[in-house]
Amino acid sequence: MFTRLTILLASLFAVIGILSGPQASGPFDVVISDAGLEFHVTTSAETVKDLLEEQRVTLAPSDAVFPLFDSPIHAGAQVTILRAISIILDDGGRISSFSTQAARVGDFLIEQGITLGENDSVSPRADTEVIPDLEISITRITEKEITRRVSTPPKTIYRDNSSLAYGKTNLITKGQPGKKEEEVLVVYKNREVDHEHILHSEIIKPPEPNIVEWGTKIEIGRIQEGRASWYCPSYSVKIKTGMTTASRDYPKGTFLRVTNLHDKSKTVIVEVTDWVANPDVIIDLWCTAFKKLAPLEIGIIWVRVEEILSD
């Protein structure tokens, strides 16, 4: 299969031959090769331009013709038309359409004067053949070092208060956020922040913690005994401690003290966050809480459930 370069060289040699030899008058039998299709015609046209106009050949601005328009026609001449290929370029998010004579992606980039940075990439690869409606994507990666000041949230310090009902909290001191200065390397992908690296961090002002009292006073309300099961759902849920349970009889937000009746040294305090679906059990413990009472393999255990009053 002839390449565009081969066709170009053959056409140039043909032009040299035409110009160096004597010219005869037509009509002539010539060949027009248009995008790989050959047409044999008889013409009295004097130049390539006249021939194309005579044959009503329409050219796009980016199409190429060999020999040149003003080249004379002679017997056995071949006029080659290389049709430009339409492609789409996504350059860092900017999408444009092009018509090109380039044979490879890399040739197209050179043709358009498009350069790649050290961290940029092009897809498909530079040695990929250009075909009609090819989509070329350039990913632009840039980096920038910045200095910024950010707020640091205060931590919370809990202090037990035996006179406060279990689970109740009381804010003693409201914390204040701190400030720190960061030197950051920001990496942009197609002009959008992709990720960043903190190069250096310095505390300008340390945060002041929240001081919170945590109620530890336990007053028992209702007491019941029965079977307890466990669950660990496969879906994603947000559980701070895992010390939660579903209950058949107590509303959400109630704290319960649960004791393993086969080993009364095993006790946990859990918060009700759901309702029991299984009518054969009185509570359904989160697996983290159940493991503090018995191995998960047991599945069901007998427990004492004590309601911890909130007031």
Contacts of 213 (CB under 8 A, 6+ apart): 158, 159, 160, 161, 164, 169, 170, 171, 172
**Tokens read off for 33:** 């090769």
Global confidence as pTM: 0.61
Domains of the chain: residue spans and CATH: 4-82 (3.10.20.30), 85-139 (3.10.20.90), 143-215 (2.20.230.10), 218-308 (2.40.40.10)
Q: What is the pLDDT along the chain (311 residues), one digit of tens a residue?
A: 334 544 444 444 444 444 444 455 669 999 999 988 999 999 999 999 999 999 999 998 889 999 999 999 999 999 999 999 999 999 999 999 999 999 999 999 999 999 999 999 999 999 999 999 999 999 999 999 999 999 999 999 999 999 999 989 999 999 999 999 999 999 999 999 999 999 999 999 999 999 999 999 999 999 999 999 999 865 444 455 679 999 999 999 999 999 999 999 999 999 999 999 888 999 999 999 999 999 999 999 999 999 999 87
CA-to-CA distance for 292 and 243, rounded, in angstroms? 10
| DSSP SS3 for 99 | strand
Contacts of 162 (CB under 8 A, 6+ apart): 216, 217
Contacts of 168 (CB under 8 A, 6+ apart): 214, 215, 310
Residue 55, exposed/middle/buried by CB under 10 A (0-12, 13-18, 19+)? middle
Which residue's structure tokens are 């897809």? 123
Strands annotated E in 92-173: 94-100, 121-123, 134-139, 141-152, 156-165, 169-173
Q: What percentage of the chain exceeds 90 in pLDDT? A: 83
Order across the sheet with 210-217: list the strands: 156-165, 210-217, 169-173
Q: What is Dmax (Cα atoms) for the chain?
A: 120
